Every structure is written in C-alpha cells, then in structure tokens.
Amino acid sequence: MDFEEIEQRAKHWDQRDQIRAARELERIRNQNIQHWYCDRGRRCDGKPHENYPYKHARGDQWPPAGQDWFLWFIMSGRGTGKTRSGGNFARKMSQYTPRIALIGRRGPDVRQTMIEGPSGLIRSCELAGESYDWKPALKEFTFQSGAKAFGYSGEEPDSLRGPEHGAFWADEPSHMPLIEEVWYNLLLGLRVPGVPGGAKGLATSTPLPNEWTKRISAKESTRLVRVPTSINIDNLDQTYRENVIAVLEGTRIGQQELEGLILEDVEGSLWKNYMIQHSTVDFEEMDKVVVGVDPAGTANRKSDETGIVVVGRRAKEFFVLQDASGKYSPQAWAQEVDRLYRAYKANSVVVETNFGGDMVKQNLVNSGSDALVVERRATRGKDVRAEPVVALYEQKRVFHKDGLGRLENEMTTWVPGVGASPNRVDALVWAINELNGGTSEAAFLSARSLMPSRPTNPRLNPIKALIQGRR
C-alpha cells in the first residue's frame, strides 16, 4: 500500500483518526530518512557513526566551502559516488534557486543516470524524505521546494540557448564532443538569482586531457576535487571489483577512469599521449615478431627492472603486443624471454650488449633456449636511438594492445637527459628498431647481420644464428 492509497482510504475516517494516521506516517517516513550531510561536516569519512548509522557524504562530497566559487569540479573515477554527490547538490540548490539545469552526455543519460539511476535525484529525495514530481516526457523534475530542474542533452547545445537557470549539474562534460557550445550557452543563461554568491554548478566527470577540461579545471573560481576509486572500495560490489577494477588497474585508461587523473603531456618527453593508439590485432597476423630485452644491471642505471617487450610488424605497421618487464633474476628473465619467444613464435630476441653482452646470451643458452639472439651495441645516445621510433609513432604506424599502462607511462614521462631511461622503453626501442630494419644502428652492422626472413616454421629451423653488432 503506498501513501496515495492510504490517503484515499483515510478520506472516510473521522478527523481524529486521520490525524493519528498522519502522525504515524510521518514517523515511518522519518524512520527511513537518511541524511546525506552529517553534523561532522567536511571532516567525516562518510562511514556510519552515531546518529548516522548508514553511509553518507564524505568530506569530498560536500559542496566547496564559502561562496566565492563558481564551479565544483569532481574529477574522479567510476564508483566514487559522483552521481550521489550530484543528486544531493541539485537537491540542495533547490532550496535557493527556482531553476536548475541538468546536463547529461546524451539525452537518455539525464533520465537513466542523473534522475532515475540508483544514486540519482529521485533516490536522493527519497532518502532525504522529500517529495518530488518527475515528468520524463517534459524532462522536468520538481523538488519539494517547488524549484524545478530541467534535463538537457550534451548533444543538443542549442536546447540550452534561451532557458535561464540559477544552478546546474553537468555529468561527464569532459566527454561531450560539443562541450564548448554547451558550456557557452549554459553560462549565458545563468541569470536566475538565489544562490548565495551567485550562480553555481557542479561538474562530475571522469577526466579526459582535452582542452576544455584543462582550461576549466585551472580556473580560479573552480574548486577541483579529485577522488581515487580506492576511497570508495567498500561500497563497490565484488563483481564490479573483479570485472572492472582488475581489468583497468595499471592501464592508462584505468588511471583516467579509476583514479581520476588527467593524463598530462610531460614537458620535454619524446612521446606524447596523443601518439599512442590502441589495437586488438592478433599476433598470428604478424609478418615478424621480436622480443626486445634490456636486462637489469647491464648498464650503470638505477632501475633493477629488466625490460622485456614483444613487438610485431605487419607490412608497414608495428604492434606492441606485450610488456613482460619486471624484477627478475638473470635465470628468471631468460626463462621468461624464452617463453615469450616460443609463445609468439618470434623471429628473434634483440638485446643490448653495452655491458656484459656475453652474459645475456649465456643466460639464454643456460636456460636451454634456442632463441635466435640478435645483439645490438648501443653506440649513440638513447634519445638518438629512440627518435626513429618516436617518428613511427608520429606517423601513426605503431599500435598498442590494451593493458600496457606502465610502459606507456614510462614512454610519456621520460625526458632524455633527465634521469636514466627506463628499461621498458629501451626494450621497446630495441625491438621496434630491429623490426624497422635496424636503421638507427645500421651503420654499424655487417651484411651478415641482416635479419633473416621469418622461417615458415621456427621449429624446423633451430639454427642458433648469433648475429653480433660490430664496433
């Protein structure tokens, strides 16, 4: 029986019974109320405590303090309670201003996520014990205060031209292709008074390093809040943790989606974020596959990781297939390299032999590997060696499999001359240069060191051709 039904029946009761029933209903409703903002204020971690025996707002889910801000920008990953913050922000704003804009990435997002979603506006009002009215056909939501929120699609910036508002909530604005127009029209219409200190808005978004996001988050009137997914880990169900987090963790896209980091280009780095493209191509389609190795301890570097990167070539394109770099004993990395060599039916293993070159080869032989080892001597600076590889990335000829976040981080944050070059990057550079005809070191190679074409069946061709780069 819902409240409306009770109301209908109660019409026939005498007044005393009606009053008693109303009190009882009031009591039941109050019992179910869950206040979002608790009396500990912004210091609270949002976990249940006295008088608030349920999950509620963490400090970072409170609107910014003071009145001198315009935009509250929550930049965070999935599952950090952004929608709940948004619903409650809109509800709070309904106390001050009669007209609020709700802008979703697409039309259906407003309804499905921002309003009817499990943490949306309706749920926020229900938990607060506040009545509401929702007319999906009109995209019009009426709060208990009488204030109205209107839904807009980020795909239709013109729909924001004309209507005026005193506050707004934009969900995923960084991911709206037309955000510049949306933003312009929205700002022009923020003329409805009421909010202390002037119109205010909330943007909830997983970050994207685009021009709008960078510009807006850097503004003085913006209060940027970054929330890592780990803050809300208790609230995420087990399936989500296993399916989504496990898959995304350690990847670049994961950093963006889970940790709420904007992936900024590093000044002076050779590789920029935009250069890295992804592909799901199968290694079986490769003309040639090479395992690049940069062993720990073969040079006077700080890192004790061994770089192991598998790269394939198909026609004029290169595919980074796997990054198995890590901390290994010499025996362990030799076994791993041999395993990858077999798994990918690789043509060769390419290693740098500046120091202890024999040791590298010997390790592989000792581990029982019959991998074809190509030894390359580093004769020039690492940045010089990396340049032709960077050029291939610039030409959009290199693709990465998903899940290569650590390698990509090292690529886009290494600045030549500042710190040692990372082993993963070195292994990648050796592998791609090798597949590209060894061009960067070509002047130092003899004729017999040219790569043999890929044997039709490596198993039938177990000759250990050790090709040595010359001084």
* Shortest spacing between CB 35 and Zn ion, in angstroms: 9
How many angstroms separate the CA atoms of 282 and 296, rounded? 29
Helix H or strand E encompassing 142: strand 140-143
* Shortest spacing between CB 49 and Zn ion, in angstroms: 6
- C-alpha torsion angle, residues 208, 277, 441, 270 (rounded to 10): -10
Which is nearer to Zn ion, 97 or 119 (by Cβ)?
119
* Shortest spacing between CB 336 and Zn ion, in angstroms: 49
Which is nearer to Zn ion, 45 or 164 (by Cβ)?
45
Which is nearer to Zn ion, 44 or 71 (by Cβ)?
44
**Bridging pattern class, strands 467-468 and 222-227:** unpaired
Tally helices (H) and strands (E) across the chain.
15, 16
* Shortest spacing between CB 123 and Zn ion, in angstroms: 19
Which is nearer to Zn ion, 40 or 314 (by Cβ)?
40
Q: Is residue 111 a contact partner of residue 159, using CB atoms and an 8 Å limit?
A: no
Sorted by sequence, the CB contacts under 8 Å of residue 469 that are 6+ apart come out as: 353, 375, 376, 377, 441, 444, 445, 449
User: Which of 57, 44, 49, 54 shows the shortest CA–CA distance to 87?
Assistant: 57
The sign of the dihedral angle between the CA atoms of 80, 81, 86, 92 is negative
Angle between helices 82-93 and 121-128 (to 10 degrees): 70
Which is nearer to Zn ion, 36 or 319 (by Cβ)?
36
* Shortest spacing between CB 46 and Zn ion, in angstroms: 6
Q: Name the residues that contact Zn ion, by CB under 5 A.
A: 38, 40, 44
Please tell me what DSSP assigns to residue 253: H
* Shortest spacing between CB 38 and Zn ion, in angstroms: 3
How many angstroms separate the CA atoms of 75 and 213, rounded? 10
**Tokens, residue 438:** 């060894």
Which is nearer to Zn ion, 44 or 245 (by Cβ)?
44
Which is nearer to Zn ion, 52 or 393 (by Cβ)?
52
Chain centroid to CA 438: 35
Q: Is residue 183 a contact partner of residue 212, using CB atoms and an 8 Å limit?
A: yes
Which is nearer to Zn ion, 41 or 193 (by Cβ)?
41
* Shortest spacing between CB 59 and Zn ion, in angstroms: 9
Q: Is residue 73 a contact partner of residue 225, using CB atoms and an 8 Å limit?
A: yes
* Shortest spacing between CB 34 and Zn ion, in angstroms: 11
